Amino acid sequence: MAHADETERHDRLTAAGVDALRDSGSLALRTPVEHGGTWSDAPTVARRLTELGRACPSAGWIAGTCATSKTMTALSHSAPAVKSSSPTRTRWSAAPDSPRPKVCGRRTAFA
């Protein structure tokens, strides 16, 4: 990740780093396909997070937190999706003007 040095200097992921994560699809790994994500399987997510973590630990942590919270949201708020083993049927709500919804962390939207 090109922004790793700047992230390290500032002790936080920079706005440019967040944009790079979003543009690369890393924040959409566990977003349902119908909402613009890829709903990637566990091996794919693990590989992508490993690559990110090697390049920039902060970016890997943010993307991992995002993927985990989306998975937990999907599995805990949609009993029919869990029973049918189809997490892509999970209902997700987002602002109508937001084509790329993001969920990250504890009740925090990562915009």
Domains for the chain: give ranges and CATH numbers: 4-85 (1.10.540.10)
Q: What's the half-sphere exposure (Cβ side, CA atoms, 13 Å) at 22?
A: 15
Query: How do residues 28-43 score in pLDDT, each as one tens digit?
Result: 999 888 778 898 999 9
pLDDT tens-place string over residues 43-72: 999 999 999 999 999 999 999 999 988 888
Q: pTM for the complete prediction?
A: 0.67
